[in-house]
């Protein structure tokens, strides 16, 4: 037997054995494996064997990425075809769609309607880039919200580069928890809600909250079960009123270019924010906050410490070998209410 034929025989044997091993795995494990794949490649597994031919039609995790396609039309056609051919009774656990091109209103409405009608637990829309969309729950670029539209099954909502509006002129308060009352994880990144006077986050079940560069008039947060809060402010006025269970707070404040190193200039609501997270046990601050605090210690002179449960204050610095001398007034502000708390300095 020639060397080439021997290699071909060995390759076929290994391929067959590999498929047989996969064939013996339970469905739940196969679903778990496919959850890490882009849906485009999950569909391609249909060529492995008869068992795999329609297996992708019931995978509970869908991940559509525009970067996997050369043309936007191909991407849209693929997404809609997958949704049409899925098993109708198959629940969706995670639905993720990433597109850095403008997508039309009709396409996004079909996608979102499908995801929500199948009781999606986790919805991720990452930089979808649509200029105008009138879906009542979620859109890209224009995010129209209606309190009459309830999504009780949703436990995770992750939105990036979205614009919040109700489709009319500036209105009063909107509570995102009114349409998603069972949210456990909420992440808003580079989102704006200028059409509302107040965006309220008062999720009774909310545990993890990330707000990065959320732009608008006023943010109000009241979440009794919240344990993790990450906040990078933009131009919003933040009001934190009730976070009794807070454990971890990660705050990054960046000094705008050419701004003086004064806390009242860079972030005038700093002390209100600290008061709002006063129940936190572990607080992390970024290097620019440290730089501002070191340069402006006198502002802490008449500020009582709000922290009575603090266990650790973690300061991220640019270079770990640089000595960090915290002024006494700053130290008193953070530690006088929790004298046993530890100061940790880590390189960011």
Question: How many other C-beta atoms lie within 10 A of the C-beta of residue 204?
Answer: 12
| pLDDT above 70: percentage of residues in the chain | 75
User: Which of 58-72, 115-129, 323-337 is predicted least confidently?
Assistant: 115-129
Of 288, 289, 348, 286, the C-alpha closest to 319 is 348
Q: What is the pLDDT of residue 206?
A: 95
Bridge partner list, 239: 220
In percent, how much of the chain has pLDDT > 90? 24
Integer Cα distance of 175 and 159 in angstroms: 16
The three-class DSSP label of residue 116 is helix
Minimum mean pLDDT range among 115-129, 176-190, 215-229, 325-339: 115-129
307 CB burial (10 A radius; 0-12, 13-18, 19+): buried
| pLDDT score, position 338 | 93
Q: Give the separation between CA 130 and CA 102, rounded to whole angstroms.
A: 5
Structure tokens at 187: 């992440």
Identify whether the C-beta of residue 184 lies closer than 8 Å to the C-beta of residue 156. yes
pLDDT in tens, 153-180: 788 888 877 766 555 555 677 788 877 8
Q: Render 58-94 in DSSP notation, one character per residue.
A: G-SEEEEEGGG-SSHHHHHHHHHHHHHHS-TT---SE
Q: Could you read off the pLDDT of 240-263 as tens digits, one per residue?
A: 888 999 999 999 877 655 455 555
Question: Mean pLDDT: which of 32-36, 77-81, 173-177, 234-238 is highest?
Answer: 77-81
Model confidence at 141, pLDDT cuts 50, 70, 90, reads very low
Q: Is the pLDDT of residue 31 over 50?
A: yes
Domain ranges of the chain: 25-90, 91-344
């Amino acid at each position: 037997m020639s060397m080439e034929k021997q290699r071909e025989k060995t390759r076929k044997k290994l391929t067959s054995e590999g498929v047989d091993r996969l064939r013996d795995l339970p469905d739940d494990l196969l679903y778990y494996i496919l959850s890490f794949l882009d849906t485009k490649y999950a569909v391609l597994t249909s060529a492995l064997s008869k068992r795999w031919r329609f297996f992708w039609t019931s995978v509970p995790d869908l991940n559509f990425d525009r970067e996997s396609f050369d043309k936007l039309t191909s991407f849209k056609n693929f997404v809609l075809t997958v949704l049409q051919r899925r098993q109708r009774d198959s629940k969706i656990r995670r639905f993720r769609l990433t597109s850095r091109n403008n997508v039309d209103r009709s396409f996004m409405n079909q996608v979102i309607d499908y995801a929500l009608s199948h009781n999606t637990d986790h919805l991720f829309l990452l930089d979808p880039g649509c200029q105008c969309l009138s879906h009542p729950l979620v859109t890209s670029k224009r995010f129209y919200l209606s309190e009459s539209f309830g999504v009780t099954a949703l436990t995770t909502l992750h939105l990036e580069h979205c614009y919040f509006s109700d489709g009319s002129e500036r209105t009063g308060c909107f509570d995102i928890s009114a349409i998603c009352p069972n949210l456990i994880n909420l992440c808003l990144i580079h989102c704006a809600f200028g059409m509302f006077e107040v965006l309220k986050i008062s999720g009774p079940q909310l545990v993890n909250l990330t707000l990065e560069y959320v732009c608008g008039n006023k943010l109000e947060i009241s979440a009794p079960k919240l344990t993790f809060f990450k906040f990078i402010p933009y131009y919003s006025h933040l009001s934190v009123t009730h976070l009794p269970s807070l454990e971890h707070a990660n705050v990054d404040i960046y000094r705008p270019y050419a701004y003086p190193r004064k806390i009242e200039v860079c972030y005038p609501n700093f002390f209100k924010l600290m008061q709002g997270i006063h129940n936190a046990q572990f607080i992390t601050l970024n290097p620019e906050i440290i730089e501002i605090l070191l340069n402006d210690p006198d502002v802490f002179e008449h500020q009582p410490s709000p922290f009575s449960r603090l266990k650790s204050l973690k300061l991220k610095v640019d270079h770990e070998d640089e000595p960090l001398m915290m002024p006494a007034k700053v130290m008193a502000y953070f530690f006088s209410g929790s004298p046993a708390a530890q100061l940790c300095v880590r390189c960011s």
